[in-house]
Amino acid sequence: MTARTTCNSLQVATPLYRFIEDKVLPGTGIKSADFWKGFDDIVKDLTPKNEALLAKRDRLQLALDNWHKANPGPIKDMPAYRKYLKEIGYIDDVPTKISATTQNVDDELALQAGPQLVVPVLNARYALNAANARWGSLYDALYGTDVISEADGATKDGAYNPIRGAKVVAYARQFLDESAPLAGALYGDVVAYSVVDKKLSVKLKGGSTTGLVDEKQFVGYQGDASAPSSVLLRNHGIHIDIQIDKTKTIGAADSAGVNDVVLEAALSTILDLEDSVAVVDGDDKVLAYENWLGILKGTLVEEVSKGGKTFTRTLNPDRKYTAGIGAVNAKDGVVTLHGRSLLFLRNVGHLMTNPAIITGEGKEIYEGILDAVVTVLIALYDINRPATQAIGNTRKGSVYIVKPKMHSAEEVAFASELFGRVEKLLGLPENTVKLGIMDEERRMSVNIKAAIAAAGARVAFINTGFLDRTGDEMHTGMYGGAMVRKGRMKIAKWFGAYERRNVLAGLDCGLRGRAQIGKGMWPAPDLMKEMVEQKGAHPLAGANTAWVPSPTAATLHAMHYHQVDVAKIQADMEILDTAAEYEALTDELLTVPIALYPDWTKEEIREALNNNCQGILGYVVRWIDQGVGCSKVPDIYNVGLMEDRATLRISSQHIANWLLHKYVTKAEVNEALQRMATIVDTQNAGDPLYKPMMPNYEDSYAYQAASDLIFKGLEQPNGYTEPLLHAWRLKVKQAQAK
């Protein structure tokens, strides 16, 4: 039995109560009695509204199921379908003109364009790495990944390879030539850097000197003006730091002593309490909240072992440079740049409850309400930080919360109401809490402009989430017919309309200069060459951020924002009739990806089934047995992919759909699960904490959870995986406690 402490009508898991009482409230100036009474009032007042929103989801899904049963196959009469969606309340009314009014948004979200990381807040090392990924070594990112070929002796394993190093330097020099060109010269011609009259002066091999084509790109420097140790440049609002040190191996071999090129990379990071974590009770919540508190207080540390050495990782300080001619906001001749990513925290959505707190009637409270109250309470340490605290997050006095898996404008309005209640409880100005809206549910996609209008003074972020969006697409049209294979989802009509329409909505609602308009994740952290080749499409589409799976990926993706001036792209798009194009794409957006001619061969069906089953098991076995919510999981071809609950939702719903329409049988699924469980066991053989599923799969909670996700997939609310995962994980924790 969980030990609990009574706070008004709330029964709080004692570890959570003690954490709030001992570690959080004392530094906020808020009295314990006032906090718990206010918390209790919020739960009592908003729980019925939360319940009503979820009941509407269920009602709408039932109506859609009935429509598809009566109209099987691909949608043949789109006007009739849209009329039906309007009648049942699936499509909201949209105000004629929407103008977001969000104020006090930090530059990383409102003005700058660059990569965004998403990491589990439960893992302190990941959280610190992500926060510190604001700046990344381009040399390291190129040397250690497949962006640079290993041909012609340029291998990357073992000791430093000067052949590979030369390729890295050549690549970086070309990047500099394109991003901050020199007048009449290339960076490979440089033999020395200096600063003269606040301008960058570059000495060339022939003895002549030159400077930047645009001298205002020179922001500042470190060291002596005659021989700086660092040269800071700016392009499209983000920075490049050329680091010079002839005493180091790389610098000694460089004609100008350049030892590294460091890029401003992950401008922002989402610390995640949702899809990438396994947080199922009060103990888990405390671990997650403690890391959030430590990050915002600047005190989070982690002991790290790497290369046979152990060291303490902390948050990076800000970076200071002597101002150059292009400096902006310099103070006393010094330019100070933020040393860390600007942090969002992704709260849990509206669906889940959590036993961390129960009511007097024994009911778990909604986890989204719990997160809102506690995470914003913790954020007071950042908003009200003393001048003596050198490390902080916001400079504009805002708290940034991403709210996932919302379905409509009324659900966004509910989130805004919840944050408003929390602001009153904590004595914060109205709209202190800024809202990130994930456009990852089909009903949200069709209503995204109305959703922005519902929180127009809070919106600081909208982002497409293709993976969850695909899972919802499948579940929404489940009874219409067999869905196309997973690999064809990105070429289905709805996908292109969805991605384009989201950007158009953000621009038409006035988010440029106020908020991020984002794109989704690159899921393969080892395939960086492909990412560099493909992910440039995101800024070209008008998105001023896009998700990446690692600090290395953030550094590489940052190059795209030097190649593309996103602010100009957005301004050019606004000249178009964004509202008309947004509306014109609606029919394509609502086209359900039911296979027109589902004439797959037995081998194609078997391949799809194997792929889905292996992906489900590979992710679920770590989630259930070890509480790992996000990790690099090898797929059936042993390609490491970043998996979280969104990818799990796709795979489980896909099999459930093919089962429903009799393209696979229950026996075939069970056979595939058992066969793939053996493969997953082999792939994890090197993990000492791993518990094999085979041959005793009937005794494996992880295997049973994976099976439930498929065979109970039809009845899961909107196809979500959380209810089953949480239930099975709690069983494992209970068994371990005995």
Dist. CA 49–CA 416, nearest whole Å: 13
Residue 238 confidence class, pLDDT cut points 50, 70, 90: very high
Residue 732 contacts residue 625 (beta carbons within 8 Å): yes
User: Mind giving me the DSSP string for 478-513?
Assistant: GGG-PBPPGGGGGGSHHHHHHHHHHHHHHHHTT-TT
Task: Specify the pLDDT at position 634.
Answer: 84
Residue 577: count of CB within 10 angstroms of its CB: 12
Q: Which amino acid does the sequence have at 735?
A: A
Residue 111: count of CB within 10 angstroms of its CB: 14
Residue 1 pLDDT > 80 = no
Share of the chain above pLDDT 70, in %: 100
CA dihedral 63, 69, 74, 75 (to 10 degrees): -50
Residue 441 contacts residue 471 (beta carbons within 8 Å): no
Task: Report the b/e string of 311-335 with b at 16+ CB within 10 A.
Answer: eebebbeebebbbbbbbeebeeeeb
Task: Specify the pLDDT at position 643.
Answer: 80
Phi-psi region of 689 (alpha: psi -120 to 50; beta: other; left: phi over 0): alpha
Residue stretches of the annotated binding site for acetyl-CoA: 118, 125-126, 276, 313, 549
Domains of the chain: 53-134+267-321+339-521+565-590 (3.20.20.360), 136-264 (2.170.170.11), 602-737 (1.20.1220.12)
Residue 155: count of CB within 10 angstroms of its CB: 11
Dist. CA 564–CA 238, nearest whole Å: 12
Residue 600: count of CB within 10 angstroms of its CB: 17
Q: Which among 134, 164, 319, 346 is annotated as catalytic?
A: 346
Residue stretches of the annotated binding site: 118, 125-126, 276, 313, 346, 440, 465-468, 549
Task: Specify the pLDDT at position 640.
Answer: 84
Task: Specify the pLDDT at position 539.
Answer: 98
Task: Specify the pLDDT at position 50.
Answer: 98
Averaged pLDDT for residues 182-193: 98
Q: Which pair of structure tokens corresponds to residue 200?
A: 């960058």
* 522: nearest Cα among 536, 543, 501, 502: 536
670-706 residue pLDDT tens:
999 999 999 999 999 999 999 999 999 999 999 999 9
Dist. CA 223–CA 564, nearest whole Å: 31
364-393 residue pLDDT tens:
999 999 999 999 999 999 999 998 998 999
Q: Which among 92, 371, 508, 644 is annotated as catalytic?
A: 644
User: Mind giving me the DSSP string for 257-288?
Assistant: -EEEEEEE--SEEEEESSTT----SHHHHHHH
Task: Specify the pLDDT at position 706.
Answer: 98
Task: Specify the pLDDT at position 654.
Answer: 98
Dist. CA 639–CA 621, nearest whole Å: 18
Residue 710 confidence class, pLDDT cut points 50, 70, 90: very high
Task: Specify the pLDDT at position 630.
Answer: 86
88-99 residue pLDDT tens:
999 998 888 899
Which are the contacts of 66, defined by CB distance < 8 A and separation ≥ 6? none
Residue 637 confidence class, pLDDT cut points 50, 70, 90: confident
Averaged pLDDT for residues 593-616: 95
| CB hemisphere CA count around 726 (13 angstroms) | 20
- Look up 346 and say whether it is catalytic: yes
Which are the contacts of 513, defined by CB distance < 8 A and separation ≥ 6? 110, 111
Kindly give the pairing relationship between strand 10-13 and strand 190-196: unpaired
Q: Which pair of structure tokens corresponds to residue 217?
A: 């790109």
Dist. CA 435–CA 421, nearest whole Å: 14
* 365: nearest Cα among 57, 44, 54, 55: 44
267-291 residue pLDDT tens:
999 999 999 999 999 999 999 999 9
Q: What backbone torsions phi and psi does residue 539 show, to the nearest 5 degrees? A: -65, -35
Dist. CA 82–CA 64, nearest whole Å: 12
Residue 419 confidence class, pLDDT cut points 50, 70, 90: very high
CA distances for 669 relative to 93, 274, 610, 655, 716, angstroms:
43, 29, 9, 8, 18
CA distances for 377 relative to 28, 343, 370, angstroms:
8, 16, 11
Residue stretches of the annotated binding site for glyoxylate: 346, 440, 465-468
* 560: nearest Cα among 236, 260, 326: 236
Dist. CA 115–CA 38, nearest whole Å: 38
